[in-house]
Structure 1
Amino acid sequence: MTEPAKELTAKEIKKRKRRQPPPDPTPLPGLVDAHTHLAACGGRSEEDVRAILDHAESVGVEQVVTVADDMVDARWAVAAAHWDQRAFAAVGLHPTHAADLDDAAKAELEEMAADPRVVAIGETGLDYYWTTRSDDCADPSVQREAFAWHIDLAKRSGKPLMIHNREADRDLLDVLAAEGAPATVIMHCFSGTPEIARECVDLGYVLSFSGTVTFNNSTELREAAHLTPDELILVETDAPFLTPHPYRGQPNQSYCIPYTARALAQVRGVSDEQMADTLGSNARKLYSLPLR
């Protein structure tokens, strides 16, 4: 005799839902995912990368920039950018891994930066959140030294600098000012206040918004998105993290970008199509991506 199916608890239902990817959004052509992590999304082979990018392209996300956290991921990012013409790479050491920036790492990153499939240096910057929460996180002084080196590499390579900033607004902007910012600075996953947004905009820095701009508690972030000029705004997933509302906590991938792009369109009072055109055009220009 077959036993009756066990009724799931509310906690089990929630846990099961969090493992499910969001449904496909209505396609919105012309978009570029300005910052994703293909390897962390399962893209560790040419076949897997192709599948992720096929899925993204089916809803209008035509190109992606895949980003490294450490040296292993940097190698994966460059490989992925050569596996599929829709993928491009950003290389650098995440500030939490800044202590790994020895002479060998510097030499390898410089070699990677010369690769035409590498379109940005980063993500680099400052992360003070993890300094008190992880024994493995680099000390702030080490982070600042590594950040300065990445700034110099961006200037020498002529490629955009991709910034990671977590709870370090003032120090991060001060380091950029002291070192002299490169021509293009991209504030990945911008999470600052409207005041910091205005300061960045006044300096000509690009603000890239992720799914966090759609969260119910992100009123100030939406204000920042509203005040950002058309020419200084990007959209990203930071996948597999930061899935947009109402799918927060579920697995994120580049195909989810239209959800965030539409949210930005609503915040900025423009049509979805106009927003997609602005976001895609900006990414292609800033990263010097070829037209598709």
Structure 2
Amino acid sequence: MTESAYIRQRDTTAEHGQKRDLSYPPLPEPLPVAVYDNHTHLEISDGEQPIDYHEHLERAAEVGIVGVIQVGGDVETSKWSASVAAAEPRMLAAVAIHPNEAPRYEEAGTLDDALAVIDDLASWPRTRAVGETGLDFFRTGPEGLAAQRRSFEAHIEIAKKHSIAMQIHDRDAHDDVIETLLRVSAPEKTVFHCFSGDAAMAKIAADNGWYLSFSGTVTFKKNEELREALQVIPRELVLVETDAPFLTPTPFRGRPNAPYMTPHTVRAMAEVLGDDLGDLCAQIAFNTEKVYGSWADGLVE
């Protein structure tokens, strides 16, 4: 698959039918110590002047974001992510069938075939995670939950088979996700992407050695529970992400997001924790490399 084989356009309409501000925010002040964006979707085109992943990565490097995990959500985007990451030193890949996509594959009778593709891609040297996978009770109705559950458990086994990390998508499904992880035994390196739980859930994660990845949502005024969770989880289990082009941090919420916006979230996290910014950056970078390994390894010449 070529680098540009799969690019999709984000919906440009805001809530209540209002037109979004499609201009990219200015670059923030660089971080004092380099970190990584643990979860991004650079295959999604956004903004008034959409930019390709090369430019995204260049902008990120200018502010101290030296690498990203590029995340797939179906067969096409997973292939794209793995293919680009194979030759791009600033990118590693995560591959999966998103929980909202699993019922569609199941209905078409192709879920097993799709999972076989993910299993193959998970063996590639620069595919370092299975994800995003999990459960989503917000967008998928009861008729699709059996497919979600089957897909989730299959992804868990794929991650364990290849000894790589797993990134979890958990929306309105906290109890069921935790029950599944405890019942079937979670992969050694399990990451809750865009963590959305509370302090009690963070304590469960800490007890099990699961990582929590915080996005721009931790900067939103209403999300005090997220900030409380951040204060509960040990520093050695903390990661940061953009989920770009979604979840742009305050003060640019609603505008296009990109990996270079990560410093806004890291600074907000340091403020909540009362930590020195450089120390927190160093800890997040260490954690990220512990989960995914070196960005320098496995490149195709």
One fold, TM greater than 0.5? yes
1:89 aligns with 2:97: no
The alignment status of 1:18 with 2:27, answered yes or no, reads no
Q: Cα deviations across residues 179-216 of structure 1 (Å, max 9, x unaligned)?
A: 11111110000001111111111111100000000001
Question: Does 2:286 align with 1:281?
Answer: yes
The separation in 1 between residues aligned to 2:136 and 2:200, in whole angstroms, is 20
Distance of aligned partners of 1:138 and 1:201 in 2 relative to their CA distance in 1, 3 Å threshold: farther
- Most deviating of 191-200 and 85-94: 191-200
Q: Which residue of 2 aligns with 1:62?
A: 66
Q: CA deviation at 1:86?
A: 0.3
The SS at the match of 2:100 is helix
| Matching residue within 269, 278, 288 for 2:274 | 269
Tell me, which stretches of 5 or more residues in structure 2 are unaligned? 1-13
CA distance in 2, matches of 1:290, 1:238: 19
Q: 1:203 aligns with which of 191, 200, 208?
A: 208
Look up the equivalent residue of 1:183 and give its one-letter code: E
- For 2:170 and 2:296, the matched residues in 1 are separated by 30
Residue 43 of structure 2 aligns to which amino acid in structure 1?
A
- Equivalent residue for 1:232? 237
Aligned to 1:4: none
Q: Kindly report which structure 2 residues correspond to 1:107-256, keeping only aligned pairs within 5 A, or say none.
A: 107-132=116-141, 139-256=144-261
Partner of residue 30, structure 2: 27
CA-atom RMSD in angstroms: 2.0
Aligned length: 272
Over 3 Å counting, the alpha-carbon distance change for 1:41 and 1:282 in structure 2 is: farther
Give the letter aligned to residue 72 of structure 2: A
1:53 aligns with 2:57: yes
Q: For 2:21 and 2:153, locate their aligned partners in 1 and report how far apart those are by CA, in whole Å.
A: 38
Tell me the equivalent position of 2:7.
Answer: none
CA shift, 1:17, in A, is 6.7
Letter in 1 for 2:101: H
In structure 2, distance between residues paired with 1:58 and 1:173: 38
CA drift of 1:241 comes to: 0.2
Q: Give per-residue Cα distances to partners, 1:16-57, cap 9 Å, x unaligned.
A: 772111111100131100000010146xxxx92211101100
Question: Secondary structure of the residue that 1:89 maps to in structure 2?
Answer: strand
Secondary structure in 1 aligned to 2:169?
A: strand
Q: Residues of 1 paired with 2:266 and 2:287: CA distance?
A: 13
Distance 1:23 1:34 in 2: 21
Distance in 2 (CA, whole Å) between partners of 1:283 and 1:83 is: 20
Unaligned runs of 5+ in 1: 1-10
> Higher mean Cα deviation, 101-110 or 267-276?
101-110
In the alignment, the residues of structure 2 paired with residue 275 and residue 205 of structure 1 have an alpha-carbon distance, to the nearest angstrom, of 18
**SS of residue matched to 1:234:** strand
Q: Which residue is equivalent to 1:6?
A: none
Amino acid at match of 1:186: V
- Once residues 58 and 82 of structure 1 are traced to their aligned partners in structure 2, the CA distance between those partners, rounded to angstroms, is 23
Give the structure-2-normalised TM-score.
Answer: 0.86
User: Percent sequence identity over matched residues?
Assistant: 40
**Other-structure match for 2:41:** 37
CA distance in 1, matches of 2:185, 2:160: 9
Gap change, CA 1:147 and 1:16, over 3 Å in 2: closer
Are the equivalent residues in 2 in contact too, given 1:151–1:181 (CA < 8 A)? yes
* Structure 1 outlier segments of 4+, above 6 Å: none
Report the alpha carbon displacement of residue 138 of structure 1 after superposing the two structures with TM: 6.8
By how many angstroms is 1:103 displaced? 2.8
Do 2:97 and 2:114's aligned partners in 1 also have CA atoms closer than 8 Å? no
Whether contact under 8 Å (1:89, 1:119) holds in the other structure is: yes
1:64-79 residue pairs with structure 2 within 5 A? 64-79=68-83
